[in-house]
Amino acid sequence: MIWHLREPSGRERVRETRSYWRDYRDRDPQLRSKRLIVFDAPPDVRETALLVWSYREADVDDDRWIYLPALRKVRRVAGKDRGRSFTGSEFSYDDLGDRELDEDTHVLLRTETADGRELRVVESTPRDRNSPYARRVHWVDALTFTVPRIEYYDDHGRLAKVLTIDWRDVSGVWDWSRLRMENVRSGRSTEVEVTEVVHGLGLPDDAFSESALRFGVP
């Protein structure tokens, strides 16, 4: 994945990462998934890594750990910090986890048509009062169930961020091809280009461990 962090002035920073993800729903009664993101470039963030364990229960917060190579330390990301920026991008730590349907209450607002596609516009309000967002509004493709757009609102009902997602079919599985998170207040944005996707690697459990954070995927 190639990250483009853009300022309103036109300044841009580029980063390169690898992202590993594994579904645990058929092998663990508590876990939903595990995700590992590792930075490869530029040198000032190289080997920085984020590990996220997402759980099935709506009232159980994700576990998050970040490895900071300059300090040679793994630090747990506290629940109160999940709304903070991830390594200076417009994505927060909370944005990088997986959400179960039961974590929110959902209301169908309307149906729209765009580019010949039928989209269901759904408002999702978190059950957790400590969520960094008061609500999200999703545009859901009625045919593929992919989500091309999400709006994020704060506690005052103001639009805070907009995420747009381009999808592609990779061997019968819908995957991201490009994501763009825009901060509507600051004008900053982060665009992530997914350059390659590989399925079915059979990653071992220890690929999502503290050792993998420090030393890389085994």
At residue 24's C-alpha, the angle toward residues 168 and 41, to 5°, is 55
- Given 3-state DSSP classes, what are the helix, strand and coil percentages for the chain, each rounded to the nearest 5? 10, 50, 40
Q: What distance in Å separates the CA atoms of residue 149 and residue 53, rounded to the nearest whole number? A: 24
Q: What is the CATH number of the domain that holds 136?
A: 2.50.20.10
pLDDT at 16: 98
Q: How many domains does the chain have?
A: 1
Local confidence band at 129 (pLDDT 50, 70, 90 cut-offs) = confident
pLDDT at 58: 81
At residue 169's C-alpha, the angle toward residues 165 and 175, to 5°, is 45
Q: What distance in Å separates the CA atoms of residue 69 and residue 187, rounded to the nearest whole number? A: 30
pLDDT at 14: 98
Facing residues of 85 across strands?
Answer: 92
Average pLDDT of the residues of the chain: 94
Local confidence band at 52 (pLDDT 50, 70, 90 cut-offs) = very high
Average pLDDT of the residues in 168-173: 91
Domain range holding 183? Answer: 2-215
Average pLDDT of the residues in 101-129: 95
What are the residues whose beta carbons fall under 8 Å from the beta carbon of 182, sequence distance 6 or more? 90, 161, 162, 163, 164, 188, 189
